Structure 1
Amino acid sequence: MSGTTVVILIVLALVALAVISARGRAANRQKDLDDAKADARRWVERLGGQVMNLTGTDLASQQAIADAAERYTAAGSQMEQATTTEQCRLVTKTALEGLYYIRAARTAMGIDPGPELPVDHEAQRAGKVTEDRRVSVEGHDYEASPVPGQRTPHYYPGGRVAGRPVPQGWYSEPWWKPALVAGAWGVGSVLLFSMMFSGMAGIAGAAAWESGYDAGQEDAIGDQGDAGGDYGGDSGGGDYGGGDWGGGDIGGGFDF
């Protein structure tokens, strides 16, 4: 066998190995995608079954079911367009959020909330409402509670909205929704958050929240140079104490 023939055979063998390897990787990717689609579809179908068969008995449960139905519609639309494993994971996340609303609705009705759901670590880091709060901001009343009620019928399962953590709990109104729709928080949001959650265990302070940090990450603010110092100085008796917050920029109302 000539040297040229040997070289040709080696090249052909390498090409064959490359083709087999590429086909193997493609098959693995397709299997991962099929598995991700099946998992996402399972959660969407589970959510759909609950949305179709559960009827709220009070304002809180009815609102939670309505929110779950919104997630079901969104997850179904995402499922139709999903072509990658990452997109399938987003479908699963949306469906699971809907199922958290279903659990909240069932809890509000006083019935078994159903089997436990996978832990949402983002929601855990956001904290949760641990006590009843009622605050008035520029003449508008807001309430938060760890339990549903006629005055707090709006549930949020916890998580991040427009880069900032929103604690799990029941609220008098969905104060986070404008940021969810717009993708950014209005100028009055920090004051509202500060008044609503100040001193509540497991929830970030207002300065940390404004910077997008979760509870326990306040020390990270010190790494931002003058940010921590400026905030501390202003809050002591400057803009925060009686200037812009007290009756200046915020005085004209809130743009959440």
Structure 2
Amino acid sequence: MSGLIPVLVLAVFVLVAVSFVVIFRQNHRTQVGREQAELTRTDDARAEARRWIDRLGTEVLSTSGTDAHSTDLVGQASARLTAATTHLGDATSPAQARTARDIALEGLHLMRDARRAMGQPDGAPIPAPEERA
């Protein structure tokens, strides 16, 4: 019986060690999965922002105002283009990429107002920037 105790202690130690290894691996996999999901969300938000920034860039570069008011609106939209591009370049989270998208949307709304001031059609629909609490 005295030879059985060290074997039982060793068996318990091995079981505890294996349990820790299994738990550690599972937690590691979960963490890697979360990090990958966050990267995917960030990439998706950056792509969405890039789409609106590119559209704004096209509109700003292809439109010039016909009077002081419309010229001012195009200038403001151009400033939003620069700001959105800068914000997107610095974005490391989905929220930061959405901020860049919202700045681009503001610029697109300014471009729509400039087209209206020049008597041109509104163009394609533009969503409203997200509300911030």
Taking structure 2 as the reference length, the TM-score comes to 0.85
Structure 2 unaligned runs (5+)?
A: 1-7
RMSD (Å), alpha carbons: 1.6
1:48 is aligned to 57
1:136 is aligned to none
1:111 is aligned to 120
1:168 is aligned to none
CA–CA distance in 2 between the matches of 1:113 and 1:59?
A: 19
Amino acid at match of 1:84: S
Return the index of the structure with the highest Cα Rg: 2
Amino acid at match of 1:112: P
2:93 is aligned to 84
The 4+ residue runs of structure 1 with deviation greater than 3 A are: none
1:13 to 5, 22, 37: 22
Indicate how the Cα distance of structure 1 residues 71 and 22 shifts in structure 2: closer, same or farther if over 3 A, else same: same
| Paired residues, number | 122
2:31 is aligned to 22
CA–CA distance in 1 between the matches of 2:128 and 2:57?
A: 20
Q: Does 1:95 align with 2:83?
A: no
Identity across matched positions, percent: 34
Determine which structure has the larger strand proportion and give its number: 1
Indicate how the Cα distance of structure 1 residues 76 and 120 shifts in structure 2: closer, same or farther if over 3 A, else same: closer
Structure 1 unaligned runs (5+)?
A: 123-256
Deviations 1:44-81 (A, max 9, x none): 11100000001212222111111101111111121221
Higher relative contact order (CA 8 A, sep 6+): 2
Deviations 1:153-182 (A, max 9, x none): xxxxxxxxxxxxxxxxxxxxxxxxxxxxxx
CA–CA distance in 1 between the matches of 2:47 and 2:129?
A: 20
CA–CA distance in 1 between the matches of 2:100 and 2:73?
A: 19
